[in-house]
């Protein structure tokens, strides 16, 4: 029983079997002490009515009993000579002591139902035996007979409902009772998980659960431990992120503050003043870009930006970006290879515009003069694949897994000089994932980089 599913099934089956046995025994006791005497009285009353009905008729006893048998009764008629005849459904067994027959012929009533012996697994309720009948005397054509009467199971339907109601009621009661205790045993590890969850909520991520089970709960406990480790790493990244933000903001603020103080000196030349003002302007723009990117990331993380999916031409949008950045790639005398036919997709054009802007800007920034940038758009049956390749400086294999991390810069000196913030690719990946797409990077140091973005149509 290594899985919780099998454990619950086996436990439930064991409970139901045990409950059914207990309920059956209890219902048997109820039948023997309550229902059986009442049933004996009812059948005795019906038998007396049958005898009275016959006494008031002019039919032969055989014809009369044959008609009554059609109403759902079984009769066994014995005369003084011991000759017997059955009317209606035959009895399963006709064994009966001769003294009982003689007693009935003498005018006494035989209460076979009330005195039927106890049987643990098959109640007398269902035994269609001659000994499980009501016997009473009847006179016909000046002859005395012993008449044994028993209704069939159809006639006993009213009592059977009570009988089955008792069985079902007791089965449900014991089932609920055993399930209550068995569930406690099953959910004990879950309670341990609840305690561990409270500890995590309080900020304690170093939790090891002592659960060695092999079922789903055991796997849940192991996954929970993995989650706590992941949360610990996330907390560390959050603190790292805060430190990075503080550093990124502090650097331009320090520059602005320093050059602002320098501008207050009276002996500055006009050229120096213009130079300092240009640095302040540059750092202010950098702060503006940083704050805007941080706001974008925050909105994307919180899901505040609902995608406005509309059909638009992807290749046309990328052409517009190339025209916008024309002065940058022409300044470095880069060649652009274009392989894209009109391709319509459903997506948020504003957010995807930012994706292509980030990726193409990076390609221009890190490609040396006289280099080449290739843009290819491939349309498949369900997806569109965009490949942007450059012949730039490339990325080392150690850096590739981390380039989508926030504030990560593979070449910090070069990135800072170029004005990067380390957030562009993080934003790019987030937008692609919001569109249910994927982004991959293939690169070799000194050989260039290929960014492959796949989006559903």
β-bridge partners, 146:
78, 137
Which of the residue ranges 29-43, 183-197, 359-373 would you say has the lowest mean pLDDT?
183-197
Q: pLDDT at position 279, please? A: 84
Domain shared by 145 and 263, yes or no = no
Looking at residues 37-54, what average pLDDT do you find? 89
Query: Within a 10 A sphere around the Cβ of 90, how many other Cβ atoms?
Result: 11
Q: pLDDT at position 416, please? A: 44
Domain shared by 130 and 216, yes or no = no
Which of the residue ranges 36-50, 143-157, 258-272, 310-324 would you say has the lowest mean pLDDT?
143-157
Which helix H or strand E contains 46, and what residues bound it? helix 36-55
Please state, in angstroms and rounded to a whole number, the distance separating the CA atoms of residues 296 and 290: 10
Q: How many domains does the chain have?
A: 3
Per-residue DSSP letter, 368? P
Domain shared by 147 and 28, yes or no = yes
Burial of 104 (0-12, 13-18, 19+ CB in 10 A): buried
Mean residue pLDDT across the chain: 81
Give the model confidence (pLDDT) of 169-206 as tens digits.
Answer: 787 788 777 777 776 677 677 777 777 788 777 777 77
Domain shared by 124 and 248, yes or no = no
Domain shared by 238 and 301, yes or no = yes
Domain shared by 279 and 322, yes or no = no
Domain shared by 333 and 233, yes or no = no
pLDDT band at 412 (very low <50, low <70, confident <90, very high): very low
DSSP3 helix / strand / coil % (the chain, rounded to 5): 55, 15, 30
> Cα torsion at 359, 362, 363, 367 (round to 10°)?
180
Closest CA to 313 of 277, 362, 352: 352
Looking at residues 277-306, what average pLDDT do you find? 74
Q: Which domain holds residue 250?
A: 205-305
Domain shared by 255 and 327, yes or no = no
Please state, in angstroms and rounded to a whole number, the distance separating the CA atoms of residues 133 and 128: 8
Looking at residues 298-310, what average pLDDT do you find? 70
């Amino acid at each position: 029983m290594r899985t919780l599913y099998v454990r619950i099934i086996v436990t439930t089956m064991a409970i139901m079997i045990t409950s059914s046995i207990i309920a059956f025994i209890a219902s048997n006791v109820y039948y023997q002490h309550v229902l059986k005497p009442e049933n004996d009285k009812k059948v005795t009353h019906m038998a007396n009515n049958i005898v009275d009905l016959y006494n008031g008729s002019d039919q032969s006893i055989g014809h009369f009993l044959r008609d009554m048998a059609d109403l759902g009764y079984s009769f066994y008629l014995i005369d003084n000579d011991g000759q017997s005849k059955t009317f209606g459904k035959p009895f399963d067994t006709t064994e009966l002591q001769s003294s009982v027959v003689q007693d009935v012929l003498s005018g006494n009533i035989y209460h076979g139902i009330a005195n039927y012996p106890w049987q643990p697994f098959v109640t007398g309720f269902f035994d269609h035996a001659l000994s499980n009948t009501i016997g009473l005397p009847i006179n016909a054509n000046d002859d005395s007979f012993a008449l044994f009467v028993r209704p069939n199971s159809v006639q006993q339907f009213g009592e059977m409902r009570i009988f089955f109601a008792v069985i079902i009621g007791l089965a449900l009661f014991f089932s609920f009772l055993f399930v209550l205790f068995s569930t406690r045993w099953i959910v004990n590890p879950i309670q341990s998980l609840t305690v561990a969850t409270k500890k995590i909520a309080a900020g304690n991520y170093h939790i090891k659960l002592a659960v060695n089970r092999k079922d789903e709960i055991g796997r849940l406990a192991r996954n929970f431990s993995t989650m706590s480790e992941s949360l610990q790493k996330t907390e560390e990244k959050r603190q790292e992120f805060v430190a990075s933000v503080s550093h990124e903001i502090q650097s331009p603020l320090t520059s602005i503050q320093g050059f602002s103080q320098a501008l207050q000196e009276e002996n500055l030349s006009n050229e120096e003043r213009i130079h300092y003002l240009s640095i302040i302007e540059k750092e202010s723009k950098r702060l503006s870009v940083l704050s805007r990117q941080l706001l974008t990331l925050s909105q994307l993380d919180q899901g505040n930006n609902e995608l406005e999916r509309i059909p638009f031409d992807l290749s046309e949008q990328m052409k517009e970006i190339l025209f916008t950045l024309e002065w940058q790639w022409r300044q470095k005398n880069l060649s652009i290879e274009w392989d894209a036919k009109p391709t319509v997709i459903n997506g948020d054009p504003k957010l995807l515009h930012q994706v292509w802007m980030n990726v193409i800007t990076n390609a221009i920034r890190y490609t040396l003069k006289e280099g080449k940038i290739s843009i290819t758009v491939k349309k498949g049956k369900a997806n569109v694949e965009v490949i942007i390749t450059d012949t730039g400086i490339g990325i080392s294999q150690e850096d590739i897994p981390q380039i989508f991390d926030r504030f990560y810069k593979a070449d910090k000196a070069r990135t800072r000089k170029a004005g990067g913030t380390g957030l562009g690719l993080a934003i790019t990946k987030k937008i692609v994932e919001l569109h249910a797409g994927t982004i991959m990077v293939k690169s070799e140091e000194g050989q260039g980089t290929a960014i492959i973005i796949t989006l559903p149509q």
